[in-house]
Each structure stands twice: as C-alpha cells, then as structure tokens.
Amino acid sequence: MNYLITGVAGFIGSHLAERLLSNGHSVIGIDSFDGFYAKAIKENNLSAAKSHQSFTLYECDIENYQDVLKVAKDGGIDGIIHLAAKAGVRPSIIDPIGYQNVNVGGTQNMLEIARHCGIQKFIYGSSSSVYGINPNCPWQESDHVLQPISPYASSKVSGELLGHVYAELFGIQFLALRFFTVYGPRQRPDLAIHKFVAKMIKGEVIPVYGDGSTARDYTYVDDIISGIVAALKYSASLYEVFNLGNQRTVQLSQLISVIEEVVGKEPIIDRQGQQPGDVKITNADITKARKLLGYEPNTKIEYGILQFKLWYLEMMKQGLV
C-alpha cells in the first residue's frame, strides 16, 4: 500500500513512517517544517526513513491546497494519515486564529484532497484534549458531551466533525484517533517529559505547574503507532472515534520521581500556578480500541522514560539539543 502522512517529520509521524516502511509499504511524507522547534531536529527524525527507497518527502504546507493536491494526484495514494497540526494547549491560547487556520482549515483541505483524488481511507490524529473538563473518568468515546477548554482542543473537535461530514456525504472512511499524552524518543521539546529530563540532566530548574496532583494517561509512542497501524486495517464502518491511551494515570509528582530515578539526579523544582487550558486529569477507556482494533498498550512508564533519556543523550552528542 502507498500511504500519505502529513506532519511526517514530527514526533509521531516519523515513527509511523518507519513502521510502515518496515512493513513493506510505500510512504509519501509532507511537512512544512514549521518553526515551533528546530528544523534540524525534525530532519534528524527522518534520517532512517530517508534512507529507504520507498519513502518520498515533500516540503509543503497543508494550508496550501494546490501544493498538496499536486502531491496527492501524482502519488497513487491508498490512504491518508493526517497528523500535521499546530500543537500544544498553551500556545493555542496565545494564537487561536493560527490554530484554527492550520488545524481546521488544513484538515478541510486534506479531506477535500481525499475526496477529489478518490482516497477512501482517512486517519485523523485527534487528541484527548477534546474531552476537556469531562468528570466521567475514564473517558469513553460514547460520551458526546465534549467540553474543550483551549483553542487547540476545540480545533481537534472541529476536525472530527468535519470527518463525519465527509464520511456521510462522500463515503470516505474517517477514523479519529484520540491520542493520550504520547511520549518517547523524539517527543516535542515543549512537553513535560522532554523538558523535565533535559533540565534534570543539565541540573537546571524545573517549572512545575500546580501542586503535582494533576494526572495524565501517558502513552508510549510505539503503542500509539501500533494503534494507527491497526486502524489502517480496520474496515467495518465508515466513521469511528477511538481512544488510544494507556488506561493508567500517572500523577505529576509520581512522574517526576520516576524521571529522577531514571536520570539519577535530584530535581530542582520551581512551583508555579496552574496554567489556563490545562485539565486536572486525562484517562482513556480503551475498551473500544481493544475490541475493534486489537489495541493493547504494554509499555511501562519507567521503560519509556529510559528510552527517551537514551535518545536525548544521543541528540546531545550530536549537538542537536
């Protein structure tokens, strides 16, 4: 099969490209190399994929419909995995219009491209943030009362709803995968595990928001990739939403303790107030993904953080972080 991955140079996209290539598929990757973090890091993410003869990279922006349409028309594509987006809850509060333009407008463009190029499978990288302040933990896909509390979260809800329209009107299979706090090698530098490991290694102060009681459903990237690959094989219905999480929550204070043990240094903590847009807890019910996709995450947090640390140390040797 020949798959198009948007946001291919990012954290999840680059891992997915490698998995699909290793499984014998061809991959067309597009990425705008947005300046949210260093281009050199994203290029390094793709080093393995670029060495594969079945991988093709195009530098273009999902906001530019004509550029992406040309890539799709020439590609003979069997499915789109749409991961490109402006990421992060806190930055979206500063730039809500930018997030709307890329995350909603860009998704609309990709769905139109699927429609006009006859691409019948569309996997959408959604987010646990769509649940917002939902008190019904663990969160289930069947709970339709979504209460997002950031522009980023609302943009992801909008993408899911657009997908439903295209499934109903044009028969495009649209599967929304709600990722729960993905971590592992190549994780974005703005996220907690990346920041904490980096600062502990360097002996720097760690900003900790709140009292440490917030909890997240941390999910290792290899488990997420297995969920995406399973979704590519799913054909039983035109529209579905799936939680891809770990179904285990880890409190922030516990996370810091695990990182301290893995890194071997005591953290220097700077307590700060709770950030707007942050929720108290994220917790996935993965019953549906288990049943329909055979999804079964099995990576423990200690192992995942160790793998991230090893990657980060290698990046330090290369002068990339």
Give the pLDDT confidence of 233-263 residue by residue, as tens digits: 999 999 999 999 998 899 999 999 999 999 9
Confidence check: pLDDT of 145 > 80: no
Q: What pLDDT is attached to residue 88?
A: 87
Q: What pLDDT is attached to residue 230?
A: 98
Between CA 244 and CA 153 the distance in angstroms is: 16
Contacts of 51 (CB under 8 A, 6+ apart): none
Q: Which residue has the tokens 């995995």?
A: 81
Confidence check: pLDDT of 208 > 90: no
Between CA 87 and CA 146 the distance in angstroms is: 19
Give percent above pLDDT 90 in the chain.
85
Q: Which residue has the tokens 């699909």?
A: 20
For 62-110, write each residue's pLDDT tens digit. Answer: 999 999 999 998 778 999 999 999 998 889 999 999 999 999 999 999 9
Element (H, E) at 179: strand 173-179
Element (H, E) at 124: strand 121-127
Confidence of residue 274 (pLDDT cuts 50, 70, 90): confident
- Enumerate domains of the chain plus CATH numbers: 2-182+218-245+283-297 (3.40.50.720)
Q: What pLDDT is attached to residue 277?
A: 64
Between CA 320 and CA 316 the distance in angstroms is: 6
Angle between helices 192-202 and 301-317 (to 10 degrees): 60
Residue 110 and residue 82 in contact, taking contact as beta carbons nearer than 8 Å: yes
CA triple 16-225-180, angle to 5 deg: 120
Q: What pLDDT is attached to residue 271?
A: 87
| Strand partners of residue 175 | 123, 240
Q: What pLDDT is attached to residue 162?
A: 98
In whole angstroms, how far apart are CA 77 and each of 69, 148, 308?
11, 33, 33
| Strand partners of residue 251 | 215
User: What does pTM read for this prediction?
Assistant: 0.95
Mean pLDDT (whole number) for 195-217: 91
Residue 212 CA, distance from chain mean position: 24
Between CA 181 and CA 12 the distance in angstroms is: 12
Catalytic residues, by residue number, are 152
Q: Look at the alpha carbons of 194, 200, 203, 208 in this order and tell me if their dihedral is positive or negative.
A: positive
Structure tokens at 154: 């609302």
Q: Which range (112-116, 252-256, 267-271, 289-293) has the least confidence?
A: 267-271
- Find, among 271, 260, 269, 265, the residue nearest to 301 by Cα: 260
Structure tokens at 24: 């014998």
Mean pLDDT (whole number) for 111-115: 97
Between CA 163 and CA 169 the distance in angstroms is: 10
Q: Which residues of 33-49 are buried (b: 16+ CB within 10 A; e: fewer)?
A: bbeebeeebbbbbbeeb
Confidence of residue 135 (pLDDT cuts 50, 70, 90): confident
Confidence of residue 123 (pLDDT cuts 50, 70, 90): very high
